[in-house]
Amino acid sequence: MTQRIEAGATAVFLCPAVFAKKDQPTALLPLANKGSLVSVQDWLYQNNDWAKNHPIFKGLPTGLLDYQFYREILGDKFFSGQTPPDEIVAGMINTSIGYSSGLTVAVHRRGQGRIVLNSLLLRENLTVEASHPVAERLLRNMLNF
């Protein structure tokens, strides 16, 4: 797969679980600096999720993400410490106990191609039985991107 990406393909990852190997959640991440996948607990207060005005969020509200609109796709994981991305798309800030922040959607160049990292709950919300319209729109935007 990495050969195709380096030759110009774009790989869109709908779930960060594909990078896990045993107890290392980013072991198979195709980047030089794999960083980590951080899980946060929103104990009392919700995370502050945000998104930039970017083609992946085309036709969707951006800025600080409205919890009522996005609640089904907002997860509790973000990417942190990877090789700096070429495009930052969305992220999360948690200040309920301490402080933590990272990226939930980012685009990394690899050779002539791109890797779209995602920790939003897209795969979980794209099922045959019932798909969430926001997850469908984000997937469509990622594929068009």
Q: What is the pLDDT of residue 42?
A: 65
Q: What is the pLDDT of residue 100?
A: 85
Three-class DSSP category at 123: helix
pLDDT given for residue 141 in this prediction: 97
63: burial class by Cβ within 10 Å (0-12, 13-18, 19+)? exposed
What length is written for the chain? 145
pLDDT exceeds 90 at position 129: no
Mean pLDDT score, 29-33 = 91
Q: Please report the pLDDT score of residue 128 as a whole number.
A: 82
The region that residue 17 occupies, defined by phi over 0 for left and psi between -120 and 50 for alpha, beta otherwise, is alpha
Closest to 61 (Cα-Cα) out of 122, 12, 133, 145: 133
pLDDT for the residue numbered 43 = 66
Phi, psi of 111 (to 5 degrees): 65, -130
Q: What single DSSP character describes residue 109? A: E
pLDDT digits (tens, 9 = 90+) for 94-104: 887 778 899 99
Question: Between these two residues, 14 and 99, which has the higher pLDDT value?
Answer: 14
Q: Is the pLDDT of residue 68 over 90?
A: yes
**Average pLDDT estimate for 103-117:** 96
CATH of span 2-144: 3.40.50.880
Mean pLDDT for the chain overall: 92
Counting residues of the chain whose pLDDT is more than 90, the rounded percentage is: 81
Q: What is the pTM of this model?
A: 0.92
pLDDT confidence of 27, banded at 50, 70, 90?
very high
